[in-house]
Structure 1
Amino acid sequence: MQAAPVTVTAPCSGSGCAGRSPVSTGCDHQARTVRRSAEIGPLIELRYSARCRAAWVRVTHARGGDRIEARNRSGACRPRSCYTRTVASGHSSTYTAMVNDKGVKAWGCLYRRNGNIVCTEGY
């Protein structure tokens, strides 16, 4: 006799994931990179979890003081639609909290200490 399949439910979905960590919620499991920067240097990736219907930004090969931002609305950075994280001194990578990506487009940007800005396309 076979055991019944286990149903895995998302710990949050869409707007319920806004501001939460993709790692602590498990939304990073089976997530995929849907957009990435085309620039040479730090790699900025827009990550998406279909299970959680949420997106976040991850950067690698950055420098301490560089800042990343995940957004899902146009205009100014507003609560629950924009989350930022600064790369800690002595580190080269980090990720943001999640933004809702259910029925809206999300994108990510890297703000370098030297003033350069690199963004992904929306997804």
Structure 2
Amino acid sequence: MNLIRRVMAAMFMSSLLAVAGLAVAGPAQAASCYGATCHDKDPQTYCSSDATTPVSGKWILQNAAYVELRYSHSCAAAWARISHASPWDPRGQLAPTVSVIRNSDGASYSCTVPVGDTGCYTKMVNDNGPTSYARGRYDTGANWYYATTAS
């Protein structure tokens, strides 16, 4: 009987400590960055909640892939996204790519659409003051086609 009481007391105490730990820890805080601290970070992790497309996106060729410049005001950072990429053959074509390029110094990041996928997005550049643009490339096997957004 003594053993049962000790086990029950231990279970009660561990439950109490677990509840107290949750109360102290509180809700998880969202990851954040701003301006230069966002440079080279994943926008989906840090800044996608208020992301906008500040300038019109562009189609490469006729609906081969769609290129967008994405921007977060709360993070003061920009990135590029390519979507709706038509199926491509890795045996005869280079993968569709997109880059974000910062006008002030040429800092850039690129991503390549994986085989079997239709899009990707780049890491972020600090866009707190400078302007950026997105540039996408699609290879038909015979020619390369490009689309560039405004800044």
TM norm structure 1 = 0.80
CA contact (8 A) 1:13 1:53 kept: yes
Of 58-67 and 93-102, more deviation after overlay is shown by: 58-67
1:29 is aligned, of 49, 58, 61, to: 49
Which structure would you say has the larger Rg?
2
| 1:99 equivalent in structure 2 | 125
- Distance between the aligned counterparts of 1:109 and 1:38, measured in 2? 11
User: In structure 1, what residue type is equivalent to 2:53?
Assistant: T
Shift of 1:62: 1.1
Whether 2:84 is the aligned partner of 1:61: answer yes
| DSSP-derived class of the 2:45 partner | helix
| 1:118 equivalent in structure 2 | 147
Higher fraction of helix: 2
TM norm structure 2 = 0.66
Q: Structure 1 pair 9/102, CA: closer, same or farther in 2 (3 Å)?
A: farther
Shift of 1:73: 2.6
Deviations 1:82-108 (A, max 9, x none): 000000000001100001111101100
Residues paired across the two proteins, number: 110
Shift of 1:59: 1.2
Q: Following superposition, which runs of at least 4 residues in structure 1 exceed 6 angstroms of deviation?
A: none
| 1:87 equivalent in structure 2 | 113
Q: Structure 1 pair 9/101, CA: closer, same or farther in 2 (3 Å)?
A: farther
- Distance between the aligned counterparts of 1:38 and 1:58, measured in 2? 12
CA contact (8 A) 2:82 2:119 kept: yes
Whether 2:68 is the aligned partner of 1:45: answer yes
Identity of aligned residues (%): 30
Q: Structure 1 pair 20/31, CA: closer, same or farther in 2 (3 Å)?
A: same
